[in-house]
């Protein structure tokens, strides 16, 4: 991919954001959500894993993942898959 000067300069000067503390637990969070656990219950599970979070963070994380999954599915539809 060819990049313009502006993009090249941005990449040189800016580092990507770090992953959030919930990312390593994505599979567990999605599994518990699919089984009907509440965000509060998922937050309590994460506390047993030494992750201090609140239900609002879980809710936001799930919304973000659902949006990403829908975008991936829609991309597959556009590609004819």
Claim: this prediction has a pTM higher than 0.85: no
Cβ–Cβ < 8 Å for 29, 21: no
Cβ–Cβ < 8 Å for 41, 32: yes
Report DSSP letters for 39-66, one per residue. Answer: HHHHHHHHHHTT----HHHHHHHHHHHH
What is the model's pLDDT at position 60? 95
Written as six digits, the tokens of 2 are: 């060819």
Round the average pLDDT of the chain to a whole number and report it: 84
Mean pLDDT for 71-76 is 57
């Amino acid at each position: 991919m060819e990049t313009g000067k502006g993009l090249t300069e941005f990449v040189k000067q800016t580092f990507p954001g770090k992953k959030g503390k919930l990312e390593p637990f994505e599979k567990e969070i999605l599994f518990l959500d699919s089984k009907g656990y509440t965000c509060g219950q998922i937050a309590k599970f994460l506390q047993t894993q030494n992750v201090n979070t609140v239900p609002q963070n879980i809710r936001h994380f799930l919304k973000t993942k659902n949006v990403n999954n829908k975008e991936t599915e829609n991309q597959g539809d556009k590609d004819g898959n």
